[in-house]
Amino acid sequence: MLRDKKSDEVEVYDVNTYSLQRCLTVPNLRGFSDMTSCEHFLCLYISDPDAECVHRLGLQGNATQWPVSDELHSLSVNAAHNVLVGCRVVRKIKEFSPRGDLLRDVTLPDDVINPWHVIQLTSGQFIVCHGGPGDPVHRVCTVSADGREIVRSHGGQPGSDAGQCNMPCHLAVDNNKSVFVADFYNRRVTLLSPSLNYIRLVVSGDQMKWKPGWMCLDVRRRRLYVTDLECTDDDVFTAGRVVVFSV
C-alpha cells in the first residue's frame, strides 16, 4: 500500500493476516498517482506526476527512476512485463521496458478524453476508462492495439444506470478477460464481460464508506482490493482505507 507521507511511503502487509510487515521509502518521490507490481521482476512501479517520472522499487528497497516527459497518471504491466504509462492530459499511452527504455508512444482517439487507467490485453488491444467531471462522455472502451480505433465501449453520457458510468477511474481484468470497473461518483464496482456488457454489481455503495478509487485483483485468491476514499467537494482526499472483497 502506498501512503502520502515523506518516508516509509510503501507499507507491506501480510496477505492472510493483513498485519504490517515492513515499510519501504521511495527516494526522491515528489508525488504519486498510481502504483503497480510486476511478479516476474519482483518490483513495484510508482507514477510521480510532479516529477514526470516512474520510480521502480525492488523488494529490498533498491530504487531507480526514469523520465516520462509528460504528466503521467496510471500504470500497468503487460504480458511482456513492460510498463504502460497512461498520460491523461495528452491522451497517450507510453510503453517502457522494465529498465525505462521508451518502446513506443500510442495516441488514443480524439473522443477518449481524460483517460484514467489503461490495461493491455494479451490480444494487444487496450482497455481504457475515461471521463472526468464536466466531460460529456464517461466510458470503458476497448481500443485497437495501434490506439487509433475504439472497438467497443460501455457507457456514454454520465449517469447511474447499469449501462452508465460516472467517472470510471480504475480497472482490473481477470483471467477470463472480464473487467472490474471502479465507478467513483456512483460509489460502486461493476463487472463487465470481455465484450464490455454489464454482468453484475460487485461492490455496492452500501459496502463502501466513501468512494472507490484504485483497485488490485489477486487472481489466484480471487480477492479484490479496493481503496475506499473520503474526499472533499473539490476531490481532495482526506481519509481512506483498503477494503477486501471475495470475487
Q: How far apart are CA 92 and CA 74, in angstroms?
A: 11
pLDDT attached to residue 3: 84
Strand partners of residue 229: 211, 240
22 touches 15 (CB < 8 A): no
Q: Which amino acid is at 169?
A: C
Domains and CATH numbers, the chain: 10-215 (2.120.10.30)
pTM to 2 decimal places: 0.94
Enter the C-alpha cell of residue 160. 447511474
Enter the C-alpha cell of residue 231. 474526499
CA 82 vs CA 18, 178, 185, 236: distances in Å: 29, 21, 31, 31
> pLDDT in tens for each of the 247 residues of the chain?
888 887 889 999 999 999 999 999 999 999 999 999 999 999 999 999 999 999 999 988 899 999 999 999 999 999 999 999 999 999 999 999 999 999 999 999 999 999 999 999 999 999 999 999 999 999 999 999 999 999 999 999 999 999 999 999 999 999 999 999 999 999 999 999 999 999 999 999 999 999 999 999 999 999 999 999 998 777 677 888 999 999 9
Enter the C-alpha cell of residue 124. 494487444
pLDDT attached to residue 140: 98
pLDDT attached to residue 1: 86
Give every CB contact of residue 40 below 8 A, 6+ residues apart in sequence: 81
pLDDT attached to residue 233: 73
CA 98 vs CA 1, 18, 35, 45: distances in Å: 21, 29, 14, 9
How many alpha carbons lie under 13 Å from residue 28 in its C-beta half-sphere?
13
Cα angle 194-141-200, degrees, rounded to a multiple of 5: 50
pLDDT attached to residue 56: 97
Backbone angles phi, psi at 207, to 5 degrees: -90, -5
Q: How far apart are CA 128 and CA 237, in angstroms?
A: 24
